[in-house]
Structure 1
Amino acid sequence: MRHYKVPIGDILWVAIGWGAFTLSDGLKGRFPRRSIQACGAATRRLARAKSIRADRWRVHLLVTEGRLWEQLGDQQRSLQTNDEVILSYESSNDSYIRQQVAWAKVNKSVDLAALGRVNEAIELERTLTLTLPSDPPFLPIRVRTLMNLAVDLSSLGRHEEEKSLYDRVQALLSANADPSLDDTLAWASINKGIQLVDQHDYEAGVELFDVVIRRWWTSVSVDTPMSLHEALAAAGRNRCRALTFLKRYDEVIRDADRIVDRYLRTHNQRIDDEVAWAALLKAHAQEKLGRVADARATCDLLVTRYEKSQRTQSALAEANSRRLASFSNKA
């Protein structure tokens, strides 16, 4: 049997790329700036290489660097990095590099929207939806583009177009067996449900939140990604909101309890935000049912748990608790 050897030069560039990726991945959570430095040092070295493997590593690290700048809130630097990827590699025929270029365009659209250039973001996203290949590796990029386009259209008040895009995402992912896209499918239902509730179609909104809860609430495991837990918490909280408009207060309390019981001790910013709002809705429902002492206890629990992390909800809960206390004293 013949053994195909990797050229020594390729081994060097692969080692540089893998080393930089490992280092940057380990640092990106707590030390994003150091992770950016690791990416930058490696991409400068890899730029001198004449190897497809080196190009793959370089484009991967550049896309990672752009995401890290966005994570730090520096959209301008992120935009510059994504533009470098696009300008340097857009003509590549390599499938992996083409995927990374497409991700750079997706990330660029996010940068443009964050910089207030929403119409430019929409134009880029529409172009992407028309030009992305239909190959399976590009499916995550396609659905992310559609979701971002929907959010940008929503910011301009174009909600009917927004809802139609969520339908497209659901159609694309309805037969998908890749669990890494479950959170995107869930958010397509949640976001459409939120728009329906905002348009006073509360029952239709509840049904979409139920789609998410029925499919994933009881199937979570230790392997369930946090992004899907975030979606489940959002579906539950928004279901509580819709039920509040429908004055189905007993159901609001039951649903809020389900969210609080599962996620109260979860230290995740997005989940904490949803749980805190669900608790406020629960307190409101308890007050409407005449359970003033219970409503005050719910507010006090919210303040105790989220005083430092969720200040908006905590301030509202504290004010409600004082109001309920004065109401009880008068009674």
Structure 2
Amino acid sequence: MDSLTNTTAFVLEFDSKKSTITIGQKILATISSLIPYKQWDVIVAIVSDTVYTLHKEVVDHSLTLIDAIPINYNDTEQNKSYAYAEKYFNQLLEKQCTRNSLVMGIGGGVTTDFAGYVASAYMRGIDVVYVPTTLLAMVDASIGGKVAVNIKAGKNIVGHFHQPNYIIIDVNFLHTLPQSEWRCGMAEVVKHALIGDSSSLEILQNKEIQYGYINNSLYNCINSSVRFKASIVEKDEYEKNIRAILNYGHTVGHAIESLFEYTMSHGEAVAAGMLVESYISLKEGMPKADFDCIRDILSAYNLLPKISFDPRLIINHMMYDKKNIKGKIRFVLLESIGKPRIGCEVNDLLVMEALNFYLKMVSR
């Protein structure tokens, strides 16, 4: 592993609170200097079973430093549910958590999302700190304050906006990240690059990132991607306008996840969604050279899942999307790379054509 750039930190100023993001290598072991842990009466850490198995020593050491109480969490999309959360509300009560307590989420995007939801709802909202351990969670899921759980009808239907007080991004966790999870995170890195993160776009186009290599190119890409998303949500905390660009690829992506009953990873579904929505963008006037660039990047990093589905069912599942207005499906499309448009209505026939294009491409 290369010696990475020094630890960096920056503060986001929201209407609701300040949120500090720290990025570095092997920094979880210094957590007592990164958060003011003595200000909370009880600290409970919801820890991913997967992460605890792989990183037991550093997790135990770090939680001991701040007198935190660990609670294990079986981090699956099926367990990121409204019904499953009640178990954790009861455990917070048993640990005598008050409105002056802290919940930590240590794990991937499912864990940070779930921990955030629990913190947002317990006693009408208590503080939360995230330690994202997957690439997806680092660059996307942990940033922005959206917390939610799933119900049978769809993904992230029940939730709140609840900003974390601190996000601690320790890239050392990526050392044990499976390749499938790596691809999930890369999908969100690509998304940010295509909607405006030009620094990451250049790194991706130069093929500077490879699975298993935690080097300065990856660090710089993570740093740029995190700062890009942070800059967007800082301007629009409650998604009234510009923040909606972050939903590029997600209208189709969430529908695919729902159709497959969350057995497919979020990153894979979003990668498929980006290609479908880029095809729609092409037909709506995006330059073909830009479409070819998007397709080449998604293919080069092996992000497109080889799946089969009935396009009509995908369109049906899109009807549950939160961006819809008066029953009309709304897309984020690209005028060109780096120039997204929000709130776009698209004819169902074009959506069907784009979905069929995807099926044909991945079946080759």
Range of TM-score over shorter length:
0.3 to 0.5
- Where relative contact order (Cα < 8 A, 6+ residues apart) is larger, the structure is 2
Larger radius of gyration: 1
Indicate the structure with greater strand content.
2
| Structure-1-length-normalised TM-score | 0.33
Normalized per residue, the structure richer in helix is 1
